[in-house]
Structure 1
Amino acid sequence: MRIDDALIWAQFALVNSDSALLDAQVLLAFVLQKETVYLLTWPEEDLAVAQKEQFEALILQRINGVPVAHLTGIREFWSLPLKVNNSTLIPRPDTEVLVEAALNIVAADAKILDLGTGTGAIILALASELPNASCTGIDFSDKAVNLAKENAQQLNIKNVQFKQSNWFENITGQFDLIVSNPPYIDKQDDHLKQGDLRFEPLSALVSEQEGLADIQLIAQQAPQYLAGGGFLLIEHGYKQAVAVSDILHNLHYQQIKTIKDYGGNDRVTVALFNHSKQNEA
């Protein structure tokens, strides 16, 4: 089977996927251990029998809903190739909005904490851009912590450490910036039965109080760990911006602002906590 024929076959097989061609290209490039541009450059090249069989097996798993990132074990985020598995969320492109927002407000030598780090995507992106920053990522899951450590080692990023902690439980010291992509989906949300979410850990997706419980807890406890004039950045659901802003306002945060993702949806809310201003209040 030629490369172009394999892609045509896979597209038809993945007819129910919104990204059939892209899925097919990524999986075939993975099988061939080539960049996707190779598929366009050498469409007439033949697959070996073993390559054809591996590709067909991967397409079958994709038809059954297994995420492409789980099939390849890799997802790119902020141009960083990250190892992924089913113990963490698969990094989403829209989360890069949080990284952009953080880079716009933080100093080059800042102390940064990432709550619920998962693969380490957010904190590794920040650490790669801010080599003089001191970066820490925490996660409740030991498996996630180990995966994040693997990614840091693979990427040779030295200014980051990872530890196990249930939110702030094992955290000491203060930070200039705290970032988080916490669980924020309501347990009744039908999206949990669709797409890649079916294969990701519910503990990293679902939160009580209509998805706001963990955000509320983080916002309440963060001031104890924020240096004077420190910022909190939280990713949330596209319908939660008002609720998150209200939580932050009621806890005396200032300069509250919501940022839209690449699809134009409310996605990240940033706020400053100034201890002196709170004392004045």
Structure 2
Amino acid sequence: MRETVETWLKKSVKKLKDAEIASAQLDAELILAYVLGVERTFLHANPQKKLSKTLVFHANNFLNKRIKRVPLAYIFRKKDFFGRTFFVNENVLVPRPETETLIEITQKMLQPNDVALDIGTGSGIIPVTLKAEYGEKVEVFASDISLQALAVANLNAKKLLNQKIPLFESNLLEKIPSDILSKITIVTANLPYVNRDWVDFEKNNELHHEPQIALYARKNGLELIFELLFQAQDLPKLRKIVLEADPCQFEEIEKYANNCGFLKSKSENYTIVLDKK
């Protein structure tokens, strides 16, 4: 007997719940809708629609990945961010809603002829979004220590902007040309800031499928943020650094930043803004 939308969803939701995935109903619907190439509303309107064996095979393949806690963004190879659909894979972090706050705050601070540099760009969501929103009003550069991540950022720039963004393989500011650094006015960064002590590595979760180099940092998660602040203090035209971090880290960041010539001017959700003194 052929599976229907209703029977496949019922079985799949149970499997996801048994795997202790809180969003079991939503995830099952998203998987089936993706395989069918329809909106979720179609599933609700057509519960008795019969599914082909090939379609069920692909849906089950995706379901088994989700049961193993592979993020849906990696399964579908895409993630929406700030109104745009970005390509993502296992070489970059899954874009998070918290980072949209960083974009919103940076937008309000941008001035004509600003030159922005995004450090640890990953999939390129920050520089691509800033360029898409502001166009020629802002010059944008980006860097990452991972060549694989830069390939993803380059793909997203070409896809969403129809142009390239200058990208540099660099550990923070170390390998970025001096002529670029000399004109940077705003630095944005969503660097690794997760303390390994915050995560139960015995329990399977989505974080284990994301690139560890992009998640975790030593010194209570602050090692790379502190190093960036130390390096950035010598940038001659720098006005602001806009960082993403956990709010519990803001106090330590503010103290260290003060020693490097920066003052906190704003913090909201997971974003903290530091002004050059």
TM > 0.5: yes
Gaps of 5+ in 2: none
Instruction: Name the structure 2 match of 1:66.
Output: 70
Instruction: Name the structure 2 match of 1:24.
Output: 28
Which deviates more, 132-141 or 2-11? 2-11
How many aligned residue pairs are there? 267
Tell me, yes or no, if the aligned pair for 2:145 and 2:169 is still in contact at 8 Å: yes
Tell me, in whole angstroms, the C-alpha distance in 1 between the residues paired with 2:236 and 2:213. 26
Gaps of 5+ in 1: 261-266, 275-281
Deviation of residue 54 (structure 1)?
0.9
Q: TM-score, normalised by structure 2?
A: 0.89
Instruction: Name the structure 1 match of 2:7.
Output: 5
Which deviates more, 181-190 or 90-99? 181-190
Deviation of residue 154 (structure 1)?
1.6
Where 1:239 maps in the other structure, the secondary structure is helix
Distance 1:271-1:43 versus aligned 2 partners, 3 A rule: same
Cα RMSD (Å): 1.8
Tell me, yes or no, if the aligned pair for 2:154 and 2:164 is still in contact at 8 Å: no
- 1:107-150 per-residue CA deviation (whole Å, 9 max, x = no partner) reads 25421111000011111111111111211111000000011101
Which deviates more, 39-48 or 76-85? 39-48
Distance 1:42-1:142 versus aligned 2 partners, 3 A rule: same
Which deviates more, 167-176 or 85-94? 167-176
Tell me, yes or no, if the aligned pair for 2:117 and 2:141 is still in contact at 8 Å: yes
| Stretches of 4+ aligned residues off by more than 6 angstroms | none
Instruction: Name the structure 2 match of 1:215.
Output: 225
- 1:77-112 per-residue CA deviation (whole Å, 9 max, x = no partner) reads 112211111111111111111111111111254211
Where 1:44 maps in the other structure, the secondary structure is coil
Q: In the alignment, is residue 271 of structure 1 matched against residue 269 of structure 2?
A: no
Counterpart among 196, 201, 218 of residue 206 in structure 2? 196
Tell me, yes or no, if the aligned pair for 1:179 and 1:234 is still in contact at 8 Å: yes
Tell me, in whole angstroms, the C-alpha distance in 1 between the residues paired with 2:164 and 2:231. 25
Tell me, yes or no, if the aligned pair for 2:233 and 2:260 is still in contact at 8 Å: no
Distance 1:199-1:253 versus aligned 2 partners, 3 A rule: same
Tell me, in whole angstroms, the C-alpha distance in 2 between the residues paired with 1:24 and 1:245. 43
Deviation of residue 51 (structure 1)?
0.8
- 1:223-249 per-residue CA deviation (whole Å, 9 max, x = no partner) reads 333625x11011112321111111222
Which deviates more, 136-145 or 18-27? 18-27
Instruction: Name the structure 2 match of 1:263.
Output: none
Q: TM-score, normalised by structure 1?
A: 0.88
